[in-house]
C-alpha cells in the first residue's frame, strides 16, 4: 500500500498534467481579467488553505497511505500557484496604486 501501482501512477500523472494545463491557462488570462482580481486572489487563498488543511489531516489520519495525500498535495500546488500569480498581477495593476500618489503625480 506504500507504493503506487502503474495505473495509479498514470492517473496521478494525468491529474497533474490536467492541473498544470488549467493553471497555465488561468495564469495567462489574468492580465486580461475585467473584474476585480483582488476578490479572485482572496478566494484562491481560501481554497489553498482548505486544501492544505485537508492534506495535513489526511496524512495524519492515514499514515502510510500516500495516494490521496499526493492528490491533495497537487491541489495545494495548483491553488497556491494561481494565488501567487493573482497576487503578482494584483500588485502590478495601476488601479492598485495609492490614490493619493496618483493625484500628486508620484508613483
* 98 part of a folded domain: no
Q: Tell me which of 100 and 37 has the higher pLDDT.
A: 37
Structural domain including 44 reads 6-92
Q: Looking at the domain assignment, is residue 84 inside a domain?
A: yes
Number of domains comprising the chain = 1
Other Cβ atoms less than 10 A from the Cβ of 78: the count is 22
- 23-31 long-range contacts (CB < 8 A, ≥24 apart) are 23/78, 23/81, 23/82, 26/82, 26/85, 27/81, 27/82, 27/85, 30/85, 30/86, 30/89, 31/89
Could you tell me the pTM of the whole model? 0.75
Inside any domain, residue 99 = no
Tens digit of pLDDT for each residue in 17-64?
999 999 999 999 888 887 778 888 889 999 999 999 988 888 888 776
64-97 pLDDT tens trace: 677 788 888 899 999 999 999 999 988 887 665 4
Amino acid at each position: 500500500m506504500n507504493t503506487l501501482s502503474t495505473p495509479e501512477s498514470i492517473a496521478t500523472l494525468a491529474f497533474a498534467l490536467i492541473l498544470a494545463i488549467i493553471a497555465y491557462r488561468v495564469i495567462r488570462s489574468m492580465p486580461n481579467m475585467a473584474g476585480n482580481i483582488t476578490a479572485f486572489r482572496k478566494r484562491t487563498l481560501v481554497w489553498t488553505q482548505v486544501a492544505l488543511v485537508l492534506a495535513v489531516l489526511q496524512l495524519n489520519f492515514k499514515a502510510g497511505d500516500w495516494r490521496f495525500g499526493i492528490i491533495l498535495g497537487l491541489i495545494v500546488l495548483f491553488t497556491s500557484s494561481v494565488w501567487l500569480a493573482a497576487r503578482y498581477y494584483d500588485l502590478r495593476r495601476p488601479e492598485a496604486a495609492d490614490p493619493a500618489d496618483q493625484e500628486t503625480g508620484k508613483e
